[in-house]
Amino acid sequence: MIGQGFMGRTHSNAWSQIPRFFKPPVAPVMQTVFGRNAEAVAEFARTWGWRNSSTDWKATVAAPDVDLVDVVTPNNMHAEVALAALKAGKHVACEKPIARTIDEARKMVAAAGEAGAKTFVWYNYRRCPAVAMAHKLVKDGALGAIRHARAVYLQDWADESIPLIWRFQKEGSGTGANGDLNAHIVDMVRFVAGEEVTEVTGAIAETFIKERKLMTGPTAGGIAAGVGGSSRTGPVTVDDCVLALARLSGGGVASFEAARQATGNQNRNGFEINGSKGALKFDFERMNELQYYDATRPRGVQGWTTIMCTHGGDHPYAENWWPDAHVIGYEHGFTNQAYDILRVLGGQEPVVPIPDFQDAYQTQRILEAVMIAAAERRPVAIDEVK
Protein backbone atom coordinates (compact mmCIF):
# COMPACT_ATOMS: atom_id res chain seq x y z
CA MET A 1 0.00 0.00 0.00
CA ILE A 2 1.40 3.37 -1.05
CA GLY A 3 0.32 5.98 1.52
CA GLN A 4 -0.61 5.91 5.18
CA GLY A 5 -2.93 8.83 5.96
CA PHE A 6 -6.70 8.95 6.36
CA MET A 7 -7.24 6.59 3.42
CA GLY A 8 -4.37 4.40 4.57
CA ARG A 9 -6.26 3.70 7.78
CA THR A 10 -9.52 2.90 5.99
CA HIS A 11 -7.84 0.57 3.51
CA SER A 12 -5.71 -1.15 6.14
CA ASN A 13 -8.79 -1.81 8.22
CA ALA A 14 -10.57 -3.21 5.16
CA TRP A 15 -7.79 -5.61 4.15
CA SER A 16 -7.42 -6.86 7.74
CA GLN A 17 -11.14 -7.44 8.24
CA ILE A 18 -11.79 -9.56 5.14
CA PRO A 19 -10.68 -12.95 6.55
CA ARG A 20 -12.86 -12.37 9.63
CA PHE A 21 -16.11 -11.75 7.75
CA PHE A 22 -15.70 -13.06 4.20
CA LYS A 23 -14.37 -16.13 2.41
CA PRO A 24 -12.58 -14.74 -0.65
CA PRO A 25 -11.07 -17.07 -3.28
CA VAL A 26 -7.62 -15.59 -2.55
CA ALA A 27 -6.36 -14.36 0.81
CA PRO A 28 -5.00 -10.86 1.41
CA VAL A 29 -1.43 -10.65 2.67
CA MET A 30 -0.62 -7.17 3.98
CA GLN A 31 2.99 -7.24 2.85
CA THR A 32 4.42 -3.69 2.78
CA VAL A 33 3.21 -0.15 3.45
CA PHE A 34 5.03 2.93 2.14
CA GLY A 35 5.29 6.28 3.93
CA ARG A 36 7.64 9.25 3.74
CA ASN A 37 8.78 9.18 7.38
CA ALA A 38 10.54 5.97 8.46
CA GLU A 39 9.53 6.14 12.11
CA ALA A 40 5.91 7.06 11.38
CA VAL A 41 5.38 4.40 8.73
CA ALA A 42 6.99 1.72 10.91
CA GLU A 43 4.57 2.59 13.71
CA PHE A 44 1.70 2.58 11.21
CA ALA A 45 2.73 -0.90 10.04
CA ARG A 46 2.78 -2.23 13.61
CA THR A 47 -0.60 -0.69 14.41
CA TRP A 48 -2.43 -1.90 11.32
CA GLY A 49 -0.80 -5.29 10.75
CA TRP A 50 1.52 -4.73 7.80
CA ARG A 51 4.49 -7.10 7.68
CA ASN A 52 6.96 -4.48 6.45
CA SER A 53 7.30 -0.72 6.09
CA SER A 54 9.20 1.26 3.47
CA THR A 55 10.19 4.81 2.56
CA ASP A 56 10.99 3.86 -1.07
CA TRP A 57 7.76 3.54 -3.04
CA LYS A 58 9.52 2.61 -6.28
CA ALA A 59 11.20 -0.39 -4.67
CA THR A 60 7.94 -1.31 -2.95
CA VAL A 61 5.85 -1.48 -6.13
CA ALA A 62 8.57 -3.46 -7.92
CA ALA A 63 9.07 -6.01 -5.11
CA PRO A 64 8.61 -9.62 -6.28
CA ASP A 65 6.53 -10.51 -3.21
CA VAL A 66 3.88 -7.90 -4.10
CA ASP A 67 1.02 -8.78 -6.47
CA LEU A 68 -1.40 -5.89 -5.89
CA VAL A 69 -0.45 -2.25 -5.31
CA ASP A 70 -3.03 -0.16 -3.45
CA VAL A 71 -2.56 3.58 -4.11
CA VAL A 72 -3.93 5.80 -1.31
CA THR A 73 -1.74 8.89 -1.75
CA PRO A 74 -2.84 12.45 -2.54
CA ASN A 75 -3.98 12.75 -6.15
CA ASN A 76 -0.66 14.06 -7.47
CA MET A 77 0.98 10.64 -7.00
CA HIS A 78 -1.79 8.45 -8.42
CA ALA A 79 -0.59 8.36 -12.02
CA GLU A 80 3.14 8.03 -11.31
CA VAL A 81 2.69 5.17 -8.84
CA ALA A 82 0.05 3.36 -10.89
CA LEU A 83 2.11 3.55 -14.07
CA ALA A 84 5.19 2.19 -12.29
CA ALA A 85 3.19 -0.62 -10.71
CA LEU A 86 1.63 -1.61 -14.04
CA LYS A 87 5.06 -1.58 -15.69
CA ALA A 88 6.27 -3.90 -12.92
CA GLY A 89 3.46 -6.34 -13.75
CA LYS A 90 1.28 -5.63 -10.71
CA HIS A 91 -2.46 -5.35 -10.37
CA VAL A 92 -3.43 -1.87 -9.17
CA ALA A 93 -6.15 -0.49 -6.93
CA CYS A 94 -6.27 3.31 -6.86
CA GLU A 95 -8.17 5.84 -4.79
CA LYS A 96 -10.51 8.26 -6.54
CA PRO A 97 -10.42 10.39 -8.56
CA ILE A 98 -8.23 8.22 -10.74
CA ALA A 99 -5.91 11.17 -11.46
CA ARG A 100 -5.51 14.95 -11.22
CA THR A 101 -6.10 15.53 -14.93
CA ILE A 102 -7.73 13.90 -17.91
CA ASP A 103 -4.30 13.47 -19.53
CA GLU A 104 -2.98 11.52 -16.53
CA ALA A 105 -6.11 9.38 -16.49
CA ARG A 106 -5.78 8.62 -20.20
CA LYS A 107 -2.20 7.42 -19.71
CA MET A 108 -3.29 5.17 -16.84
CA VAL A 109 -6.02 3.58 -18.96
CA ALA A 110 -3.60 2.99 -21.84
CA ALA A 111 -0.97 1.47 -19.54
CA ALA A 112 -3.55 -0.85 -17.95
CA GLY A 113 -4.60 -2.05 -21.39
CA GLU A 114 -1.02 -2.72 -22.44
CA ALA A 115 -0.15 -4.49 -19.18
CA GLY A 116 -3.23 -6.69 -19.17
CA ALA A 117 -3.40 -6.32 -15.39
CA LYS A 118 -6.52 -5.97 -13.27
CA THR A 119 -7.27 -2.44 -12.13
CA PHE A 120 -9.73 -1.13 -9.54
CA VAL A 121 -10.81 2.32 -8.36
CA TRP A 122 -12.11 2.92 -4.85
CA TYR A 123 -15.57 4.31 -5.48
CA ASN A 124 -16.49 2.77 -2.16
CA TYR A 125 -20.03 4.14 -1.92
CA ARG A 126 -21.11 1.59 -4.53
CA ARG A 127 -20.45 -0.94 -1.78
CA CYS A 128 -23.05 0.44 0.65
CA PRO A 129 -25.73 -2.27 0.68
CA ALA A 130 -28.41 0.39 0.13
CA VAL A 131 -26.64 1.79 -2.97
CA ALA A 132 -25.99 -1.70 -4.32
CA MET A 133 -29.67 -2.48 -3.73
CA ALA A 134 -30.69 0.67 -5.62
CA HIS A 135 -28.54 -0.49 -8.54
CA LYS A 136 -30.31 -3.87 -8.49
CA LEU A 137 -33.80 -2.35 -8.36
CA VAL A 138 -33.12 -0.13 -11.36
CA LYS A 139 -31.53 -3.01 -13.27
CA ASP A 140 -34.63 -5.12 -12.55
CA GLY A 141 -36.86 -2.39 -14.00
CA ALA A 142 -38.45 -1.11 -10.80
CA LEU A 143 -38.11 2.53 -11.85
CA GLY A 144 -38.98 2.20 -15.53
CA ALA A 145 -37.57 4.98 -17.72
CA ILE A 146 -35.24 7.33 -15.82
CA ARG A 147 -36.49 10.92 -16.03
CA HIS A 148 -34.54 12.77 -13.32
CA ALA A 149 -31.39 12.14 -11.31
CA ARG A 150 -30.32 14.72 -8.74
CA ALA A 151 -27.26 14.11 -6.64
CA VAL A 152 -25.49 16.08 -3.93
CA TYR A 153 -22.34 15.68 -1.87
CA LEU A 154 -22.30 18.37 0.78
CA GLN A 155 -19.74 18.85 3.56
CA ASP A 156 -19.00 21.78 5.87
CA TRP A 157 -15.50 21.14 7.23
CA ALA A 158 -13.53 23.55 5.01
CA ASP A 159 -14.01 26.78 6.95
CA GLU A 160 -11.46 29.58 7.38
CA SER A 161 -9.68 27.74 10.22
CA ILE A 162 -8.35 25.00 7.93
CA PRO A 163 -4.85 25.77 6.58
CA LEU A 164 -3.64 25.37 3.00
CA ILE A 165 -3.51 21.56 2.83
CA TRP A 166 -3.05 19.70 -0.46
CA ARG A 167 -6.80 19.46 -1.04
CA PHE A 168 -6.87 23.22 -1.69
CA GLN A 169 -4.01 23.23 -4.19
CA LYS A 170 -4.32 22.31 -7.86
CA GLU A 171 -0.79 20.89 -7.91
CA GLY A 172 -1.69 18.29 -5.30
CA SER A 173 -5.34 17.58 -6.04
CA GLY A 174 -6.13 18.64 -9.60
CA THR A 175 -9.54 19.99 -8.58
CA GLY A 176 -11.37 20.77 -5.36
CA ALA A 177 -14.92 19.71 -4.55
CA ASN A 178 -15.34 18.59 -8.16
CA GLY A 179 -12.74 15.82 -8.02
CA ASP A 180 -13.10 15.08 -4.32
CA LEU A 181 -16.90 14.99 -3.97
CA ASN A 182 -18.54 15.33 -7.37
CA ALA A 183 -16.55 12.29 -8.50
CA HIS A 184 -18.42 10.10 -6.03
CA ILE A 185 -21.91 11.25 -6.96
CA VAL A 186 -21.23 11.14 -10.71
CA ASP A 187 -20.05 7.55 -10.27
CA MET A 188 -23.09 6.67 -8.13
CA VAL A 189 -25.57 8.07 -10.65
CA ARG A 190 -23.84 6.21 -13.48
CA PHE A 191 -23.83 3.03 -11.38
CA VAL A 192 -27.39 3.19 -10.05
CA ALA A 193 -29.15 4.62 -13.12
CA GLY A 194 -27.18 2.38 -15.48
CA GLU A 195 -26.85 5.30 -17.90
CA GLU A 196 -24.10 7.60 -19.09
CA VAL A 197 -23.89 11.38 -18.96
CA THR A 198 -23.85 12.58 -22.57
CA GLU A 199 -23.61 16.34 -22.04
CA VAL A 200 -22.88 18.84 -19.31
CA THR A 201 -25.38 21.53 -20.25
CA GLY A 202 -24.09 24.11 -17.79
CA ALA A 203 -21.96 24.43 -14.67
CA ILE A 204 -20.72 26.89 -12.09
CA ALA A 205 -17.60 26.64 -9.90
CA GLU A 206 -16.75 28.99 -7.05
CA THR A 207 -13.94 29.44 -4.55
CA PHE A 208 -15.22 31.24 -1.47
CA ILE A 209 -12.02 31.29 0.60
CA LYS A 210 -9.33 32.45 -1.78
CA GLU A 211 -6.42 32.61 0.70
CA ARG A 212 -5.56 30.22 3.54
CA LYS A 213 -2.89 30.13 6.22
CA LEU A 214 0.27 28.23 5.30
CA MET A 215 0.97 24.98 7.13
CA THR A 216 3.20 25.10 10.20
CA GLY A 217 3.68 21.36 10.56
CA PRO A 218 3.05 18.02 8.84
CA THR A 219 -0.42 16.77 7.99
CA ALA A 220 -1.90 14.37 10.48
CA GLY A 221 -5.03 12.30 9.90
CA GLY A 222 -8.55 13.14 8.81
CA ILE A 223 -10.02 14.92 5.79
CA ALA A 224 -9.04 18.33 7.15
CA ALA A 225 -5.55 17.15 8.04
CA GLY A 226 -3.34 20.00 9.07
CA VAL A 227 -1.37 21.44 11.95
CA GLY A 228 -2.10 25.06 12.75
CA GLY A 229 -1.40 27.87 10.37
CA SER A 230 1.14 30.67 10.20
CA SER A 231 0.42 34.38 9.82
CA ARG A 232 1.40 34.03 6.16
CA THR A 233 -1.15 32.89 3.61
CA GLY A 234 -1.18 31.27 0.19
CA PRO A 235 -3.72 31.15 -2.64
CA VAL A 236 -6.38 28.46 -2.92
CA THR A 237 -6.19 27.25 -6.52
CA VAL A 238 -9.18 24.90 -6.69
CA ASP A 239 -12.95 25.15 -6.36
CA ASP A 240 -14.87 25.06 -3.07
CA CYS A 241 -18.19 24.33 -4.73
CA VAL A 242 -19.43 23.04 -8.11
CA LEU A 243 -22.96 22.73 -9.51
CA ALA A 244 -23.69 21.12 -12.88
CA LEU A 245 -26.67 20.23 -15.07
CA ALA A 246 -26.43 17.28 -17.43
CA ARG A 247 -28.23 15.04 -19.90
CA LEU A 248 -28.38 11.26 -19.61
CA SER A 249 -28.10 8.66 -22.37
CA GLY A 250 -31.66 7.43 -21.82
CA GLY A 251 -33.17 10.85 -22.40
CA GLY A 252 -33.38 11.95 -18.77
CA VAL A 253 -31.69 14.88 -17.07
CA ALA A 254 -29.39 15.12 -14.04
CA SER A 255 -28.00 17.64 -11.60
CA PHE A 256 -24.87 17.41 -9.46
CA GLU A 257 -23.85 19.62 -6.54
CA ALA A 258 -20.61 19.29 -4.60
CA ALA A 259 -19.65 21.65 -1.76
CA ARG A 260 -17.20 21.74 1.14
CA GLN A 261 -18.77 24.69 2.99
CA ALA A 262 -22.46 23.73 2.97
CA THR A 263 -23.03 24.58 6.64
CA GLY A 264 -25.05 21.97 8.49
CA ASN A 265 -24.06 19.08 6.21
CA GLN A 266 -21.27 16.94 7.60
CA ASN A 267 -21.22 14.21 4.96
CA ARG A 268 -24.49 14.42 3.05
CA ASN A 269 -23.74 12.23 0.07
CA GLY A 270 -26.90 11.22 -1.71
CA PHE A 271 -29.18 11.05 -4.71
CA GLU A 272 -32.80 10.93 -5.78
CA ILE A 273 -33.69 9.16 -9.02
CA ASN A 274 -37.19 9.49 -10.48
CA GLY A 275 -38.48 7.11 -13.13
CA SER A 276 -41.74 6.46 -14.93
CA LYS A 277 -42.66 3.62 -12.54
CA GLY A 278 -40.97 4.61 -9.29
CA ALA A 279 -38.26 6.53 -7.48
CA LEU A 280 -35.32 6.01 -5.11
CA LYS A 281 -33.59 8.21 -2.52
CA PHE A 282 -30.37 7.66 -0.61
CA ASP A 283 -28.50 9.78 1.96
CA PHE A 284 -25.18 8.51 3.31
CA GLU A 285 -25.83 10.13 6.67
CA ARG A 286 -28.48 7.38 6.95
CA MET A 287 -26.45 4.88 4.98
CA ASN A 288 -28.30 1.72 5.97
CA GLU A 289 -31.60 3.02 4.57
CA LEU A 290 -32.96 3.23 1.04
CA GLN A 291 -36.15 5.14 0.24
CA TYR A 292 -38.35 3.56 -2.47
CA TYR A 293 -41.51 4.89 -4.09
CA ASP A 294 -43.58 2.39 -6.09
CA ALA A 295 -45.75 4.36 -8.53
CA THR A 296 -47.34 1.18 -9.90
CA ARG A 297 -49.43 0.74 -6.74
CA PRO A 298 -52.96 2.24 -6.55
CA ARG A 299 -52.68 6.01 -6.10
CA GLY A 300 -54.47 5.92 -2.76
CA VAL A 301 -51.73 3.83 -1.15
CA GLN A 302 -48.63 5.21 -2.87
CA GLY A 303 -45.95 6.60 -0.59
CA TRP A 304 -42.27 6.46 0.27
CA THR A 305 -41.13 3.20 1.86
CA THR A 306 -38.01 3.03 4.05
CA ILE A 307 -36.03 -0.14 3.39
CA MET A 308 -33.52 -1.09 6.08
CA CYS A 309 -30.87 -2.71 3.88
CA THR A 310 -29.44 -5.07 6.48
CA HIS A 311 -31.19 -8.36 5.70
CA GLY A 312 -28.81 -11.15 4.71
CA GLY A 313 -29.74 -12.84 1.44
CA ASP A 314 -31.79 -9.91 0.17
CA HIS A 315 -29.41 -6.97 0.47
CA PRO A 316 -25.90 -7.14 -1.04
CA TYR A 317 -23.10 -7.85 1.48
CA ALA A 318 -25.49 -7.86 4.45
CA GLU A 319 -25.13 -11.59 5.10
CA ASN A 320 -21.45 -11.06 5.93
CA TRP A 321 -22.12 -8.60 8.72
CA TRP A 322 -24.71 -8.43 11.49
CA PRO A 323 -28.36 -9.39 12.15
CA ASP A 324 -31.19 -7.21 10.82
CA ALA A 325 -30.89 -3.51 11.71
CA HIS A 326 -27.56 -4.03 13.52
CA VAL A 327 -26.26 -1.30 11.27
CA ILE A 328 -22.91 -0.96 9.53
CA GLY A 329 -20.78 2.17 9.01
CA TYR A 330 -18.43 4.00 6.68
CA GLU A 331 -15.57 1.52 7.02
CA HIS A 332 -17.69 -1.44 5.89
CA GLY A 333 -17.96 -0.11 2.33
CA PHE A 334 -14.19 -0.36 2.01
CA THR A 335 -14.17 -3.91 3.34
CA ASN A 336 -16.93 -4.85 0.90
CA GLN A 337 -14.87 -3.40 -1.95
CA ALA A 338 -11.67 -5.12 -0.82
CA TYR A 339 -13.62 -8.38 -0.83
CA ASP A 340 -14.82 -7.74 -4.38
CA ILE A 341 -11.26 -6.97 -5.48
CA LEU A 342 -10.16 -10.36 -4.15
CA ARG A 343 -13.10 -12.04 -5.87
CA VAL A 344 -11.99 -10.59 -9.21
CA LEU A 345 -8.35 -11.53 -8.61
CA GLY A 346 -9.55 -15.04 -7.75
CA GLY A 347 -11.46 -15.38 -11.02
CA GLN A 348 -14.93 -14.70 -9.66
CA GLU A 349 -17.47 -11.99 -10.42
CA PRO A 350 -17.80 -9.14 -7.89
CA VAL A 351 -21.03 -8.89 -5.91
CA VAL A 352 -21.86 -5.76 -7.90
CA PRO A 353 -19.83 -4.18 -10.74
CA ILE A 354 -16.53 -2.70 -9.62
CA PRO A 355 -14.96 0.22 -11.54
CA ASP A 356 -11.66 -0.37 -13.30
CA PHE A 357 -9.46 2.36 -14.79
CA GLN A 358 -11.56 2.47 -17.98
CA ASP A 359 -14.79 2.88 -16.02
CA ALA A 360 -13.26 5.55 -13.76
CA TYR A 361 -11.98 7.33 -16.87
CA GLN A 362 -15.58 7.86 -17.97
CA THR A 363 -16.27 9.63 -14.67
CA GLN A 364 -13.05 11.67 -15.17
CA ARG A 365 -14.32 12.79 -18.59
CA ILE A 366 -17.52 14.07 -17.00
CA LEU A 367 -15.59 15.93 -14.29
CA GLU A 368 -13.45 17.53 -16.99
CA ALA A 369 -16.54 18.54 -18.95
CA VAL A 370 -17.97 20.16 -15.81
CA MET A 371 -14.88 22.34 -15.37
CA ILE A 372 -14.83 23.30 -19.05
CA ALA A 373 -18.52 24.21 -18.91
CA ALA A 374 -17.95 26.32 -15.80
CA ALA A 375 -14.90 28.11 -17.22
CA GLU A 376 -16.28 28.72 -20.72
CA ARG A 377 -19.96 29.09 -19.76
CA ARG A 378 -21.24 26.74 -22.44
CA PRO A 379 -22.63 23.24 -22.91
CA VAL A 380 -19.98 20.55 -23.29
CA ALA A 381 -20.72 17.22 -24.95
CA ILE A 382 -18.85 14.37 -23.30
CA ASP A 383 -17.67 13.31 -26.76
CA GLU A 384 -15.60 16.52 -26.81
CA VAL A 385 -13.50 15.20 -23.92
CA LYS A 386 -11.23 12.46 -25.17
pLDDT band for 231, please (50, 70, 90 cuts). confident
Q: Are residue 204 and residue 237 in the same domain, yes or no?
A: yes
In a domain, 62, yes or no: yes
Residue 247 inside a domain? The answer is yes
Residue 211: strand, helix, or coil: strand
Q: Do residues 216 and 163 both lie within one domain? A: yes
Look at residue 339 and tell me whether its pLDDT is greater than 70: yes
| pLDDT for the residue numbered 92 | 98
Question: Would you state the pLDDT for residue 187?
Answer: 98
**What integer best gives the mean pLDDT of the chain?**
95
Confirm whether 326 is domain-assigned.
Answer: no
Last residue of a domain, one of 79, 107, 122: 122
Q: What domain range is 386 assigned to? A: 145-271+358-386
Q: For residue 251, is it within any domain?
A: yes
Q: Are residues 14 and 109 in the same domain?
A: yes
Q: Confidence class of residue 219 from pLDDT cuts 50, 70 and 90?
A: low
CATH at residue 85: 3.40.50.720
154 and 253 together in one domain:
yes
Determine the angle formed by the axes of helices 330-345 and 6-21, rounding to 10 degrees.
70
Indicate if the alpha-carbon torsion angle 203, 281, 9, 11 is positive or negative: negative
Please state the rounded mean pLDDT for residues 134-162.
97
Task: Report pLDDT for 245.
Answer: 98
| pLDDT surpassing 60 at residue 312 | yes
Domain assignment of residue 336, yes or no: no
Q: What pLDDT was estimated at residue 217?
A: 67
Q: What is the DSSP letter of 325?
A: T
Q: Is residue 225 part of a domain?
A: yes
Q: What is the DSSP string of 150-193?
A: EEEEE----STTS---GGG-HHHHSSSHIIIIIHHHHHHHHHHH
Report, as an integer, the average pLDDT of 30-39: 97
- Say whether pLDDT at 229 is over 80: no
Calpha distance 16→21 (Å, rounded) = 10
Average pLDDT of the segment spanning 252-272: 97
The reported pLDDT for the residue numbered 228 is: 62
- Percentage of the chain beyond pLDDT 90 is 92
pLDDT at 195 over 70: yes
pLDDT at residue 318 in the model: 97
Question: Are the C-beta atoms of residues 226 and 219 closer than 8 Å to each other?
Answer: yes
The helix/strand/coil state of 314 is: coil
Structurally, the chain folds into a number of domains equal to: 2
- d(CA 46, CA 14) in angstroms, rounded, equals 16
Q: What is the pLDDT of residues 101-127, one digit of tens each?
A: 999 999 999 999 999 999 999 999 999
> What's the pLDDT score for residue 215?
83
- Identify the pLDDT of residue 386: 86
Residue 359's closest CA among 376, 374, 344?
344
User: Same domain, yes or no, for 153 and 23?
Assistant: no
Q: Are residues 382 and 252 in the same domain?
A: yes
Alpha helices in the chain (DSSP H): 6-21, 38-48, 57-62, 78-87, 102-115, 129-139, 170-173, 177, 183-193, 330-345, 357-376
